[in-house]
Chain A
Amino acid sequence: MATTVKIQVDGNNPVLALQGFLKGLLDDESIGGILVPVHLFEKGLPMPTLVTDSAKLSGADPLAPAFSMNSAKLLARLTRGQSGERIAAVLRPCEIRAFVELVKLNQGSLDDVVIVGVDCMGAYDNLSYKTFLGDADSFQATLDFHGLIGGEADTVRNGVDIASACQSCEHPAPQNADVVIGIAGAHLHESIPVMATSARGEALLSGLNLPDIESANGRDKTLESLIAARIVNRDAMLEKTKALTGTLTDLSEYLSACVNCYNCRVACPVCYCKECVFNTDVFEHKPWQYMEWAKRKGSLKMPTDTIFYHLTRMAHMSTACVGCGQCSNACPNGIPVMELFRTVAARTQESFDYEPGRSLDESPPLSVFKEDEFQETVSHMA
């Protein structure tokens, strides 16, 4: 029987209430630290921060509509090997799903971590967050974004909207978390429901002595309509991107502003190679080679291998793409990278009946095989 308790909100400030909740977690002797987005300065982006002293939680803002980076890789670093202490990590649903993928690849571990998932209402990309913030106090801005009831449909503030990845995300509710903070549909100025979704979460919550509530009123309904709206956005986005990239020439034009900086790969939480081939001397060609290639067609775009890079990344990680949109966030030239990769991922994931982050028991498609499958892929001569 899953425990559902509530965090009492005083003074109309759910962020303060959540900080109190996190302090409670940190005071529990089983938890040595908490990874949570923290406002480290008055202005600017909240950054994922590993907090071990509860006094430092006064800057914590788990509800900030900012998504500076996908914390899955950070959590992988914190859990690969032993620290001797268990930590809690406050994550968005897409961060959890990416982390699950990394755990499957043995790049992180769930052994000593309690995942606290927060219903995600979306976030601005890093540049838009600045516009969203304007001159406002960052905490006040967070409160204004969420309004009175979690899951408000209108997310435009100061002329900017949440990232397109978030607008088309069909996973606003955390999967595979231990504890879920259910802000969707919650009356945020009264109380916030918290659900234990694993034995580990159950044990932790029961130690906090929070008051029970019957159910997270209205959460399911809010999530349902949120997901429905986002799926409509997603499908329109997929169609549009497909139409824009139907040929190699179109794809080349779509990526024409790409400067081969590989920021999208660095930002990608599931680009798992320890050393990327595109960073090796495989691509350090001799001057005469460039001259040869240029002469073949009369010209050669420099830097070379742009499409090759993106197609290779699609082959390597599209089955694990969680659609977090950090690739687009990281692109210095505003290429809609997320749209492209989600369009490819939709098809590759469907063809292997694979959904990244859904279950730890599902192996990444390219790490396994069956003897009797995909016969149509093999040609036979008569």
Chain B
Amino acid sequence: MNNEFEPTILAFVCNWCTYTAADLAGTSRMVQQPNLRLVRMMCTGMVDPKYIVKSLLSGADGVLVSGCHPGDCHYINGNYKARRRVKLLNEILPQFGIEKERVKLTWVGASEGNEFAATVNNFINEIRELGPMEACSMAVV
């Protein structure tokens, strides 16, 4: 893709782990590309697939869902539920030409600020490589 394309990434992160890690990355002055918009959720287990679908249809080029490591969920098992939902979208979206790389699920713990910054930077680079979402250029969505 051309070099001018700057992706818009939406991230649904859980309050207890990844959001705290994002905070840590910020206060530690880690360098992150400015393409990410964070949405703080109480848990990744409350990320309905439709939030991800709506994001992709409304201007996001990629969606990051990030929560606590398995076993660490503040609500015991919300992250396992999130994994099944992302798995479901991995099956549905590619049928309509939406690359499954556009939806990324990661586990980033509260103390892993460096991990968060790396995840974000890598994901933004991947999406920049992949190019814009088809929906961005469609007259009818």
Check if B53 is an interface residue, CB within 8 A of chain A: yes
Check if A25 is an interface residue, CB within 8 A of chain B: no
Hey, which chain A residues are within 8 Å of B87, CB to CB?
351-352, 374, 377
Check if B32 is an interface residue, CB within 8 A of chain A: no
Give Cα A323–Cα B91 distance, bound, in whole angstroms: 18
Min distance, Cβ A57 to any Cβ of chain B, angstroms: 44
**Interface residues as binary, A228-242 with B (CB distance below 8 Å gives 1, 0 otherwise):** 000000000000001
Min distance, Cβ B137 to any Cβ of chain A, angstroms: 8
- A315 near B134 (CB under 8 angstroms)? no
Which one of A250, A308, A318 lies within 8 Å of B54 (CB-CB)? Answer: A308
Give the number of A-B contacts (CB < 8 Å): 113
Check if A256 is an interface residue, CB within 8 A of chain B: yes
Check if B138 is an interface residue, CB within 8 A of chain A: yes
Give Cα A371–Cα B115 distance, bound, in whole angstroms: 23
Q: Which partner residue on chain A sits nearest B108 by CB separation?
A: A381
Hey, which chain A residues are within 8 Å of B77, CB to CB?
369
Segment at the interface with A among B4-12, B35-43, B93-101: B93-101
Given A308-B54, A315-B89, A371-B70: A248 in contact with B81 (beta carbons within 8 A): no
Check if B50 is an interface residue, CB within 8 A of chain A: yes
**What count of chain B residues pass the 8 Å CB interface test?**
39
- B92 near A348 (CB under 8 angstroms)? yes
Hey, which chain A residues are within 8 Å of B84, CB to CB?
365-366, 369, 374
Q: Which partner residue on chain B sits nearest A382 by CB separation?
A: B118
Hey, which chain B residues are within 8 Å of A277, CB to CB?
50
Check if A246 is an interface residue, CB within 8 A of chain B: yes
- B53 near A312 (CB under 8 angstroms)? yes
- A381 near B53 (CB under 8 angstroms)? no
Give Cα A247–Cα B94 distance, bound, in whole angstroms: 9
Best-surrounded residue of A314, A343, A351, A373 (most CB of chain B within 10 A): A314
- A381 near B106 (CB under 8 angstroms)? yes
Best-surrounded residue of A312, A315, A316 (most CB of chain B within 10 A): A315
- B141 near A307 (CB under 8 angstroms)? yes
- A377 near B92 (CB under 8 angstroms)? no
Give Cα A303–Cα B93 distance, bound, in whole angstroms: 22
Give Cα A380–Cα B115 distance, bound, in whole angstroms: 10
- B138 near A249 (CB under 8 angstroms)? yes
Hey, which chain A residues are within 8 Å of B118, CB to CB?
381
Q: Which partner residue on chain A sits nearest B49 by CB separation?
A: A315
Give Cα A367–Cα B71 distance, bound, in whole angstroms: 18
Check if B31 is an interface residue, CB within 8 A of chain A: no
Give Cα A12–Cα B108 distance, bound, in whole angstroms: 72
- A248 near B53 (CB under 8 angstroms)? no
- A351 near B106 (CB under 8 angstroms)? no
- B105 near A378 (CB under 8 angstroms)? yes
Check if B130 is an interface residue, CB within 8 A of chain A: no
Q: Which partner residue on chain A sits nearest B78 by CB separation?
A: A369
Check if A347 is an interface residue, CB within 8 A of chain B: yes
| 28 A-B pairs (CB sep. < 8 Å) | A248-B134, A248-B138, A249-B134, A250-B97, A252-B140, A297-B139, A306-B141, A312-B49, A312-B50, A312-B53, A315-B89, A343-B95, A348-B88, A348-B91, A348-B92, A351-B91, A352-B87, A366-B88, A369-B81, A369-B83, A369-B84, A370-B80, A377-B90, A378-B106, A379-B104, A379-B106, A380-B106, A381-B119
Give A residues with C-beta under 8 Å from B: 242, 245-252, 256, 277, 297, 299, 301, 304, 306-308, 311-312, 314-316, 318-319, 343-344, 347-348, 351-352, 365-366, 369-371, 373-374, 377-381
Give B residues with C-beta under 8 Å from A: 49-50, 53-54, 57, 70-71, 77, 80-81, 83-93, 95-98, 104-107, 115, 118-119, 122, 134-135, 138-141
Those 3 A-B pairs whose CB atoms lie nearest each other, nearest first: A247-B97, A315-B49, A369-B80
- 6 other contacts beyond A247-B97, A366-B84, with CB at 8 A cut-off? A248-B134, A307-B141, A315-B85, A315-B92, A347-B92, A369-B77
